A and B are shown apart, each in its own frame.
Chain A
Amino acid sequence: MNDKITLAHGAGGKQTSELIGGLFKKYFDNPNLTADDAAVLTPPAGRMAMSTDGFIVSPAFFPGGNIGKLSICGTVNDLACMGAKPLYISCACVIEEGFPMDTLEEIVKSMAETAAKVGVQIVSGDTKVAGKGQVDGIFITTTGVGEIMPKAELSGAYARPGDAILVTGDVGRHGCTILLERDRYGMEAEVTSDCAPLWHPVRDLIQEIPEVHVIRDATRGGVGTVLYEIADESKVGIRLDAESVPVCDEVRGVTGMLGLEPLYLACEGRLVIFVPKEKAEDAVRILREASPDTTGAAIIGEVTDHMTGHVVMATELGTETLLPPPSGELLPRIC
């Protein structure tokens, strides 16, 4: 194989076959991945969830992951948020002419490793090559289907007053990592992305606590955006205990200097979970035991019927203030 991607790799001829056989098939290999035009699959017995997501992160490699790992985590986590065991994933890659073959191999390897960790099969794929400058390196789109656990009844509209709100770990690491990697600000800090697939902790949680009302992964807009989304969709108020939101020192330092709110920085391996208050402590325990990616789980607030649609915080003076609602800030491409 060439050491760089050429337009011929996307032309459908011999080089395309070589690329698919020598790289994608080699790593993704499973009984459902065939040379046919579509994967032939047996549907699950119960309800199914399906989700699709595009990934254009720049830079494609960052501390804690790369666009390949991200593209599997993103779709796996979207399915997990509906209580669905990820079964099958398809992926479409748009690759820039001249992209190094060994870099592509590393990305594909990461996709395979992440999929294997979760137990999901990559069963279908597509590769296109775009001319130099038409895409920035590589864009990946993944689509996944999963089998919803019979016990799970989850929706962003199901939060109720009396629910406790949990986050599965410290917030803002992915967004902070990407900001620093882009080196616009001349700052350095030891931060790694939180990018991780979270199906197993979700499975363990719902297994023991089927009363979970909402699970949502905090991606681009961070945990703050999720809180406002749920407040709106469930028509409830949210009381956030700002001091209990886990933020690592590095993220706190960087966001302090740049005037950013950690709650609005992207995460790629953090879930926001709404569960009846009396189950909250158990939920934290289960999450902390379930996976190294959720050991930082913490309770960060509660659902109220006060100030519907808003996220309210108590201040040192005993007054109330708002978490400023999300607005379109100018941040680099992060996922």
Chain B
Amino acid sequence: MALSKGAAEAAEIVRNYDGPKIRVMEVCGTHTHEIFRLGIRQMLPESIELISGPGCPVCVTPVGYIDEAVMLALEKGVKIFTFGDLIRVPGTKKSLADAHSEGAEVQIVYSPMDALDYAKAHPEEEVCFLSVGFETTTPGSVIALRNAISEKVENFSLLTANKIMEPAYLALKGSADAFLYPGHVSTMTGMEVYRKIAKEWQISGVVTGFTTSEIVTALATVVRRVEEVRAGERESFAENCYPSVVTEEGSPAARKLVDKYMEPCDTEWRGLGIIPGSGMKLRDEFSKYDARVRFQLPKVQGKASPACRCGEVLRGLIRPMDCKIYGNACTPEHPVGACMVSSEGACSAYYKYGDTLKLK
């Protein structure tokens, strides 16, 4: 497959950039992996540094959340349904995979609706879906909840750890010259949020998709715009390099739906601590579907392994290989930190591709 003329030109702009260093943070875990897989990182000049940010929902889920899920499964006899990656993330003492080997019921699903279907078919069991994720995945959980309510399914609940990205950009301001904004999240939020933070907080970034053409075009746009910012021609920028999918307004319908059932709350991000207003929790009127309320979970303060430096990796302060346990005590087969578990995690990406390709 040959690149289109436009994409080939964009690739040349990126490849040949030799000005002052530009730091770009890719926020989305899928971008992190695709940038390796498509060979894009391999062509970057030293003057462009890509930092892998906190955009993998599994990676930013705090240890305490895993502890809560394990408690539900092992102590409360609840059948847990989850997206796959989460089951291997270490909790303070156990992962969900450990709980499963001790007899807990943990099942991987592709959609929250599968958990609801199971709950309907097994009214005698308590079913909980682990509702993690950003703007893209939250509507799925909410639709399952909406259907549970309308169909009077009484044995279904959500353990929420849903997050919204906008407060995270503010928390990460200054970590990079520009963000590569996540393509899928942007289909929900639209461009409005980026225009707003560009204007109000001088936070710059480009939305992009997942093909070689889309990503190199976005990187070339970053190069050009950062040069303009540095020349004093503009203060910030918010560009859409994924216009085939991402619109100005995003999906108001999805946002309205989420807003009906959920409200913002302060929430903990692994590595970033508590970011005010960055979480989504069920509104009080739906609290009987909230697993924390329903099963009276105590307040859990999880403890991550002290050796793990996922937090600094997620903030772009260190590279995965700067962590002492990376590749030794912490590997995809025996992950210590979440960034090594998830197939979208930065450590797992570096481990799979970076070492062999001798990438920095």
Interface residues of A (CB under 8 A from B): 184-186, 243, 258-259, 307, 310, 314-322, 324-325, 327-328, 330
- A-side contacts of B110, CB under 8 Å: 184-186, 258
- A-side contacts of B259, CB under 8 Å: none
Question: What are 26 residue pairs bridging A and B, where the CB atoms are less than 8 Å apart in the complex?
Answer: A184-B109, A184-B110, A185-B110, A185-B111, A186-B113, A243-B1, A259-B343, A307-B356, A310-B356, A315-B40, A316-B1, A316-B38, A317-B3, A317-B39, A317-B212, A319-B40, A319-B43, A320-B39, A320-B42, A321-B38, A321-B39, A321-B42, A324-B353, A325-B352, A327-B332, A330-B84
Shortest CB-to-CB span from A3 to chain B, Å, is 28
Nearest residue, chain B, Cβ from A328: B333
- B329, CB-defined interface residue at 8 Å: no
Nearest residue, chain B, Cβ from A185: B110
- B-side contacts of A320, CB under 8 Å: 39, 42, 357
Shortest CB-to-CB span from A325 to chain B, Å, is 7
Is B212 a contact partner of A322 (Cβ separation < 8 A)?
no
Is A317 a contact partner of B37 (Cβ separation < 8 A)?
no
Is A321 a contact partner of B353 (Cβ separation < 8 A)?
yes
Is A315 a contact partner of B39 (Cβ separation < 8 A)?
yes
- B-side contacts of A328, CB under 8 Å: 333
- A-side contacts of B113, CB under 8 Å: 186
Partner of A315, one of B38, B84, B108, B356: B38
- B2, CB-defined interface residue at 8 Å: yes
Is A322 a contact partner of B84 (Cβ separation < 8 A)?
no
Shortest CB-to-CB span from B105 to chain A, Å, is 15
The secondary structure that dominates the A interface is: loop
Contact code string B1-45 (vs A, CB < 8 Å = 1, else 0):
111000000010000000000000000000000001111101100
Partner of A322, one of B2, B343, B357: B357
- B216, CB-defined interface residue at 8 Å: yes
Nearest residue, chain A, Cβ from B42: A319
Is B36 a contact partner of A321 (Cβ separation < 8 A)?
yes
Nearest residue, chain A, Cβ from B117: A186
How far is A237 from B37 in the complex, measured between Cα atoms in Å? Answer: 18
Q: A316-B39, A316-B212 are in contact. Are A322 and B1 (CB under 8 A)?
A: no
Contact code string B193-220 (vs A, CB < 8 Å = 1, else 0):
0000000000000000000100010000
Partner of B356, one of A184, A316, A322: A322
Interface residues of B (CB under 8 A from A): 1-3, 11, 36-40, 42-43, 84, 87, 108-111, 113-114, 212, 216, 332-333, 343, 352-353, 356-357
Is B3 a contact partner of A316 (Cβ separation < 8 A)?
yes
How far is A322 from B358 in the complex, measured between Cα atoms in Å? Answer: 12
**New A-B contacts (11) at CB < 8 Å, excluding given A316-B1, A316-B212, A319-B39:** A184-B110, A184-B114, A307-B356, A314-B39, A315-B39, A315-B40, A317-B42, A318-B39, A320-B39, A320-B42, A322-B357
- A-side contacts of B37, CB under 8 Å: 321, 324
How far is A322 from B357 in the complex, measured between Cα atoms in Å? Answer: 8
Shortest CB-to-CB span from A216 to chain B, Å, is 22
Shortest CB-to-CB span from A79 to chain B, Å, is 31
How far is A327 from B42 in the complex, measured between Cα atoms in Å? Answer: 23
Is A317 a contact partner of B109 (Cβ separation < 8 A)?
no
How far is A331 from B356 in the complex, measured between Cα atoms in Å? Answer: 27
Shortest CB-to-CB span from B277 to chain A, Å, is 31
Is B11 a contact partner of A317 (Cβ separation < 8 A)?
yes
- B-side contacts of A314, CB under 8 Å: 39
Nearest residue, chain B, Cβ from A187: B110
How far is A327 from B352 in the complex, measured between Cα atoms in Å? Answer: 10
Shortest CB-to-CB span from A196 to chain B, Å, is 29
Is A317 a contact partner of B40 (Cβ separation < 8 A)?
yes
How far is A330 from B97 in the complex, measured between Cα atoms in Å? Answer: 11
Shortest CB-to-CB span from B337 to chain A, Å, is 16
How far is A315 from B11 in the complex, measured between Cα atoms in Å? Answer: 13
- A-side contacts of B84, CB under 8 Å: 330
